[in-house]
Amino acid sequence: MVKRIGIIGLGTVGESAIRSLKRYASLIRKRTSLKIEIVRVCDTNRAKRSVAKKYSLKFASDPFQIINDPAIDIVLELIGGIHPAKEYIVGSLKKGKDVVTANKALLAECGQELFSLAARRKKNIGFEGSVCGAIPLIKSISEGLVGCEVNDIYAILNGTTNYILDRMHRQKMQFRDALEEAQCRGFAERNPSLDIEGKDALHKLCILAYLCFGVWPSFKKVYVEGIGKISLLDVLYAEEMDFRIKLLAIAKREKSGLDLRVHPTLIPYDHPLSEVHSSFNAIFLNTCPAGELLFYGKGAGGVATSSSIMSDIVNVSLRGGHFSRSIEDVKLKNMRSRTSRYYIRFMAQDKPGVLAKIAKFLASYHISIASVNQKARGRNKFVPIVIVTHEAREDRLRKALAQIDRLSMIKAPSQVIRIEDL
Amino acid sequence: MVKRIGIIGLGTVGESAIRSLKRYASLIRKRTSLKIEIVRVCDTNRAKRSVAKKYSLKFASDPFQIINDPAIDIVLELIGGIHPAKEYIVGSLKKGKDVVTANKALLAECGQELFSLAARRKKNIGFEGSVCGAIPLIKSISEGLVGCEVNDIYAILNGTTNYILDRMHRQKMQFRDALEEAQCRGFAERNPSLDIEGKDALHKLCILAYLCFGVWPSFKKVYVEGIGKISLLDVLYAEEMDFRIKLLAIAKREKSGLDLRVHPTLIPYDHPLSEVHSSFNAIFLNTCPAGELLFYGKGAGGVATSSSIMSDIVNVSLRGGHFSRSIEDVKLKNMRSRTSRYYIRFMAQDKPGVLAKIAKFLASYHISIASVNQKARGRNKFVPIVIVTHEAREDRLRKALAQIDRLSMIKAPSQVIRIEDL
């Protein structure tokens, strides 16, 4: 079988896809009998004609030269962002083409609409590269776990924030220095807010929520907290208590609803997720009957993602794409009603009675203290007091902290990080 | 589509497969439109009729009642061992049935013959459960990495030995005690030699060698060493040097040939494979272009394996099975010509000049010492001297050790464990 490919977007991912297809097409043909040919590549930036030239490919600056070309079977949408990527995908499906994309922001926002259009047109959208770049995660969940219920997900879905937290832990760097280093080394964008604020992880969590639970959550209903407020001080306290801090995307199927959220989390240092270093991604699943599973690999980068793009091309060509997931009526759990253990760091005036006051407020909201760490007095006006709570309700904790933060002896706001006892 | 299943073998795996199919068949149907029906189950042990009864299924004590039944589309071979499992699989394929099996020993020994028979008959053999029980590894490699070259494999493929080594590390138990505990807790067979001696890991490595490199290695040509000789002393020394000891199955594609082996290995304590605890399995792959990947999950047990069996049923029914791998002319590398760093523990008489003698012999075979750990004198006649070498050739090391072990001041044989700097 021959499949003819058109590529829209000649950035890092687009060019890597070309290079990998040139290099590995013969391998794929040997393994599967599928012959892959690149018919034409496109970028609205005409300067990218040089990329086409480098690989002796036909160039177009108008994406519709690809979308409307009857000789093309599969369109790779590799420009990212919502518009006009969405219009290109819709156009391609309507013209009877399969689509391969790594565009997590678009799928998180318009996945339901795009997948149902594809189903109506009996076409496929391959999206292996949209979550955890090189890890064959979509295929593993959709097909490898086809007889499994996924109950919980704990995932490191963003390489930039993992790189920064890893540097803070292993090199004892301040957040700002780690971010700067990440930018210098190409692990963070010049404007890193999508990553730092947890939104990129949220996009990927939404795609996983569709795959695992049949729900396309609205962004507004998912709690998201980034890593911008994590200080080296918290990292050091976490280590003292045998924890590491990771930005986790979490999904838990509970009786009262599906609990979805993205936030910095203290996890035990000897859990496999703690050993996910640098900009790697990993996803830990609790399933029935397959039990605990963990997948680890490169989460981004053109070269790594090209592996998923090739797998998608084979999958939509020979295997009919991923199994479509029916949408279910799943209620999202309210963040405020959930419980957790908490790490709380207060910056308090170093004088008698402070701890007693804090403890009193916590107790009045039924928040029970598991441990307190108050270091010897320093020369600073404010000294850290670190409290770890037992399981407590989020809404009660917030109310207690609002009151404590109003005390003159406390430098507000106090730092709160959730603990997951994986 | 409806697929009718016959099951041969009603041990732990067989009964778990029945239970999971009963429980998750409707989920699979919803996800894929495939309807799975169990037509008949079989065990040559007639007492197993009770299992059939428990699940209201028809029972046969003669496997050929299943193999010859034209109403059955897929046979699950879940008895294990070489004979008569092989005859059942051959018979089923010849009768035009697809086969699903988790039988690693059989595939390692007869995989080439069975897969080519299946190809000739245009039938499929699903074998997801044969390596790393619940991990969708076969699918990930065969399809998820369809455009990738696998260069290196470092894998924990045997749960029993990982459990024992993990207990030795984390509870500071002696090997015997850890083995006994593993047996009590059902993580080790009463006769654990297949696991302890590394043969089970070898079987799985052979299947991976087929999948990743297109070669079915002869057992005799693969170096296998079990964990029976690992003592708590080695575990403690390893930890002192920031290593952990794991039984690794290793494959490396090198210019001079494919390097395949199974042996206890010192690996850095902060590598994700070091955090694989209890009886879990994990596989670490170096690939191009997907980069480093790690898969982690339950390696055995009926419940976990039933997930892979269900995935296989869907895969052979709707997806045409895994892509068949063409056999390639791959030369296996000779163990003796390869190089490694080594941990060597000598038990030596506590008197002057011993270390000098050992060092002299090592030097005469061009083996260079990276570090020496000789503890303060004890009351024992023999005290441990631990040497870590720089990269050295295996054949030279063996010759040097043969000479050193002949010295009267050395209690032979000295302990050697290879180091992998992952």
C-alpha to C-alpha distance for B337 and B342, rounded to whole angstroms:
15
Mean pLDDT score, B243-255 = 97
Mean pLDDT score, A326-343 = 90
Check CB contact under 8 Å for B143 and A149.
no
ipTM of the complex: 0.95
DSSP state of A332: B
Q: Which residues of A touch B310 (CB under 8 A)?
A: 146-148
Q: Which of B82, B78, B120 is nearest to B99 (CA)?
A: B78
pLDDT surpassing 70 at residue B46: yes
C-alpha to C-alpha distance for A294 and B295, rounded to whole angstroms:
6
pLDDT surpassing 90 at residue B320: no
Compare B158 and B338 and report the one with higher pLDDT.
B158
Residue B135 is nearest to which of A135, A293, A310, comparing CB atoms? A293
Residue A289 is nearest to which of B143, B270, B306, comparing CB atoms? B306
Q: What percent of chain A has pLDDT over 70?
A: 99
Residue range A277-316, pLDDT digits in tens: 999 999 999 999 999 999 999 998 999 999 999 999 999 9
- What integer pLDDT is reported at residue A374 of this predicted model? 87
Cα distance from A273 to chain B (closest Cα, Å)? 8
- B62's tokens: 């003669």
Residue range B58-72, pLDDT digits in tens: 999 999 999 999 999
Alpha helices, H only, B172-258? 175-184, 193-196, 199-213, 232-240
Residue range A212-240, pLDDT digits in tens: 999 999 988 999 999 999 999 999 999 99
* Contacts of the segment A395-401: beta carbons below 8 A, 24+ positions apart: A395/A336, A395/A337, A396/A365, A396/A366, A396/A367, A397/A342, A397/A365, A397/A367, A398/A336, A399/A365, A400/A361, A400/A362, A400/A364, A400/A365, A400/A367, A401/A344
- What integer pLDDT is reported at residue B376 of this predicted model? 65
Q: Which residues of B touch A293 (CB under 8 A)?
A: 134-135, 295-297
Mean pLDDT score, A333-360 = 92
With contact defined as beta carbons under 8 Å apart, do A51 and A71 qualify? no
Q: Per-residue confidence at A376, pLDDT binned at 50, 70, 90?
A: low
Check CB contact under 8 Å for B296 and A294.
yes
- B277's tokens: 């605890």
Among all residues of B, which ones are annotated catalytic? Answer: 204
Check CB contact under 8 Å for B140 and A145.
no
Residue A136 is nearest to which of B128, B140, B270, comparing CB atoms? B140
Region class of A353: left (phi > 0), else alpha (psi between -120 and 50), else beta? left
Average pLDDT value for chain A: 95
b/e code A220-255 from CB counts within 10 Å (16+ = b)? eebbbbbbbebebebbebbeeeebbbbbbbbbbbee
Check CB contact under 8 Å for A143 and B319.
yes
C-alpha to C-alpha distance for A246 and A237, rounded to whole angstroms:
14
- What integer pLDDT is reported at residue B322 of this predicted model? 87
Residue A307 is nearest to which of B145, B272, B296, comparing CB atoms? B145
- What integer pLDDT is reported at residue A322 of this predicted model? 87
C-alpha to C-alpha distance for A373 and A236, rounded to whole angstroms:
12
Region class of B38: left (phi > 0), else alpha (psi between -120 and 50), else beta? beta
- What integer pLDDT is reported at residue A352 of this predicted model? 86
Q: Which residues of B touch A303 (CB under 8 A)?
A: 289, 291
Check CB contact under 8 Å for B293 and A296.
yes
With contact defined as beta carbons under 8 Å apart, do A217 and A223 qualify? no
Cα distance from B171 to chain A (closest Cα, Å)? 14
Residue in chain A closest to B275 (alpha carbons) equals: A272
- The string of DSSP codes covering B138-156 is HHIIIIITTT-EEEEEEEE
Determine the residue among A131, A146, A294, A303 to mutate to test chain B binding: the one whose Cβ has the most chain B Cβ atoms within 10 Å: A146
Q: Which residues of A touch B27 (CB under 8 A)?
A: 147, 149
Question: What is the identity of the amino acid at A320?
Answer: G
Q: Which residues of A touch B30 (CB under 8 A)?
A: 326
- What integer pLDDT is reported at residue A377 of this predicted model? 64
Residue in chain A closest to B144 (alpha carbons) equals: A136
Q: Which of A77-81, A159-163, A377-381, B203-207 has the lowest mean pLDDT?
A: A377-381
Q: How many residues does chain B have?
A: 422
C-alpha to C-alpha distance for A308 and A137, rounded to whole angstroms:
9
Q: Which residues of A touch B294 (CB under 8 A)?
A: 282, 294-297
Check CB contact under 8 Å for B292 and A298.
yes
Mean pLDDT score, A394-398 = 96
Q: How many residues does chain A have?
A: 422
- What integer pLDDT is reported at residue A47 of this predicted model? 97
Measured at the CA of A91, the angle between CA A90 and CA A95, to 5 degrees, comes to 115
Residue range A170-216, pLDDT digits in tens: 999 999 999 999 999 999 999 999 999 999 999 999 999 999 999 99
C-alpha to C-alpha distance for B419 and B422, rounded to whole angstroms:
9
- What integer pLDDT is reported at residue B60 of this predicted model? 98
Residue range B21-30, pLDDT digits in tens: 999 999 999 9
- What integer pLDDT is reported at residue B393 of this predicted model? 95
Cα distance from A100 to chain B (closest Cα, Å)? 14
Check CB contact under 8 Å for A292 and B307.
no
Strands A98-101 and B280-288: unpaired
Cα distance from B54 to chain A (closest Cα, Å)? 20
Q: Which residues of A touch B292 (CB under 8 A)?
A: 280, 296-298
Residue in chain B closest to A32 (alpha carbons) equals: B323
- What integer pLDDT is reported at residue B64 of this predicted model? 97
- What integer pLDDT is reported at residue B377 of this predicted model? 64
pLDDT surpassing 80 at residue B379: no
Mean pLDDT score, B378-406 = 92
Residue in chain B closest to A146 (alpha carbons) equals: B311
pLDDT surpassing 90 at residue B350: no
- What integer pLDDT is reported at residue B378 of this predicted model? 65
- A337's tokens: 């009603």
Give me the residue label for tokens 């590269």: A129
Residue B290 is nearest to which of A275, A304, A315, comparing CB atoms? A304
pLDDT surpassing 80 at residue A375: no
Judge residue A411's burial from the number of C-beta atoms within 10 Å of its C-beta, 0-12 exposed, 13-18 middle, 19 or more buried. Answer: middle
- The string of DSSP codes covering A261-292 is EEEEEEEETTSGGGG--TTEEEEEEEEETTEE
> Which residues have a Cβ under 8 Å from the Cβ of B312 and sit 6 or more positions away?
B100, B126, B127, B128, B129
- What integer pLDDT is reported at residue B352 of this predicted model? 86
Judge residue A366's burial from the number of C-beta atoms within 10 Å of its C-beta, 0-12 exposed, 13-18 middle, 19 or more buried. Answer: exposed
Q: Which residues of B touch A301 (CB under 8 A)?
A: 291
Residue A311 is nearest to which of B32, B143, B311, comparing CB atoms? B143
DSSP state of A133: T
Q: At what angle do helices B85-94 and B104-120 cross, to 10 degrees?
A: 20
- What integer pLDDT is reported at residue A351 of this predicted model? 85
Mean pLDDT score, A354-379 = 90
Check CB contact under 8 Å for A28 and B144.
no
Q: Per-residue confidence at B412, pLDDT binned at 50, 70, 90?
A: confident
Residue range A14-70, pLDDT digits in tens: 999 999 999 999 999 999 999 999 999 999 999 999 999 999 999 999 999 999 999
Check CB contact under 8 Å for A270 and B272.
no
- What integer pLDDT is reported at residue A212 of this predicted model? 96
Mean pLDDT score, A74-93 = 97
Give me the residue label for tokens 């990771």: A246
Q: What percent of chain B has pLDDT over 90?
A: 91
Most confident of A318-327, B102-111, B348-357: B102-111
Residue A272 is nearest to which of B31, B147, B275, comparing CB atoms? B275
Q: Tell me the pTM.
A: 0.96
Mean pLDDT score, A380-394 = 93
Q: Which residues of A touch B306 (CB under 8 A)?
A: 147, 289
Check CB contact under 8 Å for A319 and B319.
yes
pLDDT surpassing 90 at residue A334: no
Average pLDDT value for chain B: 95
- What integer pLDDT is reported at residue A418 of this predicted model? 98
> Which residues have a Cβ under 8 Å from the Cβ of A363 and sit 6 or more positions away?
none
Check CB contact under 8 Å for A292 and B306.
no
- The string of DSSP codes covering B251-319 is EEEETTEEEEEEEEEEEETTSGGGG--TTEEEEEEEEETTEEEEEEEE---HHHHHHHHHHHHHHHHHS
Catalytic residue, from A3, A204, A246, A333: name it.
A204
- What integer pLDDT is reported at residue B334 of this predicted model? 87
